[in-house]
Chains A and B, each alone.
Chain A
Amino acid sequence: MDELLKIEGLSKAFGETKVLRGVSLTIRRGEFLTLLGPSGCGKTTTLRIIAGLTEPDEGRVYLNGADITSLPPEKRGVNTVFQNYALFPHMNVEKNIGYGLRLRRAPKAEIAARVREMLALVKMEGYEKRMPDELSGGQRQRVAIARAVIQKPELLLLDEPLGALDLKLRQQMQQELKNLQKALGIAFLYITHDQEEALNMSDRIAIMSQGRFVQVGTPEEIYEKPASRFAAQFIGQGALFEGTVVSAENGEVCLECPEGRVLAAAREDVRPGEKAAVSVHTERVRYGREPFPGFALEGEVLSHRYAGAILLTELGLAGGRVLQAHSAGAIHSLPRPGERVHIGWESAQAAVIAGEESER
């Protein structure tokens, strides 16, 4: 069994507000699992319950098969990198990192050696004597990681560790964290509200919304096969078309919707006559002067603009909706604003979501 941690039916309310509504999840040994969801959806609460810092109203937490639900935080084999790092301000870097070993009364020489090892691991050699308030955000973050990892946990919990860093540093640290996780071979339970970060780093992602997991899967599954409208809108950039299924054959579903007729990859649970939605990512939307086979979707080119590395085109659909697409080539060679165009995409690259628009 490579099952490391299991949470089962966790519920938690603070007063009247239900923050967790029965969440269950299994984390495998050595896995990088991300809890992804908008702010306030209950990510931190889940993590705190696993760390033993918050007591659940209902549900259990198992580590290596043993029920640890009622163990105090100091008796669990997990460690945490806190959102604000929570470095001890009265201890220098070395003392912060060695804190856990000093508590366990490890021999001085061993502590020194392990601290050096950790400093090397997070590339902070030479900063031993610095106080936390003399470090940059990125450096504090490294110290917080070293301080937790020195405990040799089987599972490291990280609460938005890159949240406070600027974009450049964040991208660099994403890679470093991923490498660190591989090198240590331990499982990371990582929290973020940044879908790009989650897609970039994770082995698996659990999308969370209003105290529930709405989808758990690999980045590919999450990106290509969103299980709900919430997941579809939260991941990547894209559009949703609501409508009624008119046909489902040859691996394709065809959806009749107010904007026109669109195609997507078929799914077993989607049958003709039912309500459904089609989700397509912006970079997969095509447009041109020729119709796309199977599609009946038209629009008017509204504008082209350079958005960083890509050329973004806005298309006005029937009913006034605006659909975004990526364009290739120079602006002057593209259909001009005001021109009417046909719109479509590879049916295999769009996903269909079963059911009516009500859940979320």
Chain B
Amino acid sequence: MKKRSGLAALAPLALWTAVMVLFPMGYVLVLSFLTRGESWGVLWRFTLENYKALGDSANLEILWNSLKIGAYTTLLTFLLGYPFALAMVLQPRRRRSLLLLLVVIPFWTSALMRVYGWMILLRTRGIVNDALLGLGLIHRRVKFLNNMGAVLFGMVYSLLPFMILPVYTSLEKLSPSLQEAARDLGARPFQASWTVVFPLTVPGVMSGCVLVFVPAVGMFFISDLMGGGGSMLLGNLISYYFSAGKNWPMAAALSMLMVALTFLSVHVYRRYSGGEMGVF
């Protein structure tokens, strides 16, 4: 993006930001300082109770679990996504576009549908169990679903493209002559990758981490479905307070916590990608 585009060009962007971001955020922020209504809605009475409640041990545990799931998901998508992106750029141009298409295709259907799909496959009486039994690889049906592992699997599966795409973009931008220069100066292939290629893709990796970590902490339907609702994450908690729990101010306070987490990760991202917004 050009650094200095005219102010006029910024106007629609500013309007967009105001309507789509600032207004709802302001609304949630205000909400988070109000008192919950008796049975429904809110009372216009200022309070800090909602924020104090964030420190409850139950909430802290959920926060901790969410961060853990977020971190694991990020780590796993990185470990899977980076080699995948690397393998992609090494392909001839035509096969690269095909692979890119394959990475993007899942976006054409709803993530919810795809997770349902996995549930059907992985059920205790599902196809995967049938197949494994049939092949004699297992002797008793395995309970794949309704545990943290299943949630993690669902997260990694859903968010992997968000890691692959920015990493792929940053790898593709690299001139091959950089790696050749490294080899020429005495680097073995792995050394060249580690000292030249990887550092130059850190901005892409950081983009990927933010794009994976933030949704992983907040997504609720995966842990609802794959985790059987038994495992509460931050997103589930917010969704609970907004709906069944009927405590909008509490949900708002939790949302603000999530916003803070997002800002924090973007801040870390900017620090480690040299202040450049890379893919963003």
Contacts and interface: CB of A to CB of B under 8 A. Distances in A.
Contacts of A80: 180-181, 184
Interface string A61-85: 0000000000011100001101110
A79 B182 CA distance: 10
B175 interface: yes
A157 to B, nearest CB: 9
B200 A89 contact: yes
B86 interface: no
Interface stretch (B58-66, B123-131, B186-194, B221-229): B186-194
B200 A82 contact: no
User: Interface of chain B, helix or strand or loop or mixed?
Assistant: helix
B199 A100 contact: no
B187 A88 contact: no
A100 B60 CA distance: 50
B175 A103 contact: no
B183 interface: yes
A201 to B, nearest CB: 22
Interface residues of A, number: 23
Contacts of A74: 183-188
A84 B187 contact: no
B185 A84 contact: no
B268 interface: no
B102 interface: no
B180 A86 contact: yes
A80 B178 CA distance: 12
Interface string A197-221: 0000000000000000000000000
Contacts of B189: 72
Contact of B185 (A52, A90, A99): A99
B184 A53 contact: yes
B175 A104 contact: no
Nearest to B177: A86
Contacts of B196: 88
A86 B183 CA distance: 12
Given A86-B175, A89-B200, A151-B186, A103 B181 contact: no
A245 interface: no
A147 interface: yes
Contact of B181 (A72, A86, A104): A86
A51 interface: yes
B177 A73 contact: no
Contacts of B185: 74, 79, 99-100, 103, 147-148, 151
Contacts of A100: 185-186
Nearest to B181: A86
A104 B191 CA distance: 11
Given A84-B177, A86-B175, A88-B178, A79 B184 contact: yes
Contact of A73 (B183, B195, B200): B183
A49 to B, nearest CB: 13
Nearest to A54: B180
A80 B186 CA distance: 11
B93 to A, nearest CB: 13
A90 B177 contact: no
A138 B156 CA distance: 48
Nearest to A104: B186
Contacts of A51: 184
27 contacts: A51-B184, A53-B180, A53-B183, A53-B184, A72-B183, A73-B183, A74-B185, A74-B187, A79-B184, A80-B180, A80-B181, A80-B184, A82-B177, A83-B177, A86-B177, A86-B180, A86-B181, A88-B178, A88-B196, A99-B182, A100-B185, A100-B186, A103-B186, A103-B195, A104-B186, A147-B185, A148-B185
Return the 8 tightest CB-CB contacts between A and B, nearest first: A86-B181, A100-B185, A86-B177, A73-B183, A74-B186, A80-B184, A103-B186, A90-B199
Given A79-B184, A103-B186, 20 more contacts: A52-B184, A72-B188, A73-B183, A74-B183, A74-B184, A74-B185, A74-B186, A79-B185, A80-B181, A82-B177, A84-B177, A86-B177, A87-B181, A88-B196, A88-B200, A89-B200, A90-B199, A100-B186, A103-B187, A151-B186
Interface of B: 175, 177-178, 180-189, 191, 195-196, 199-200
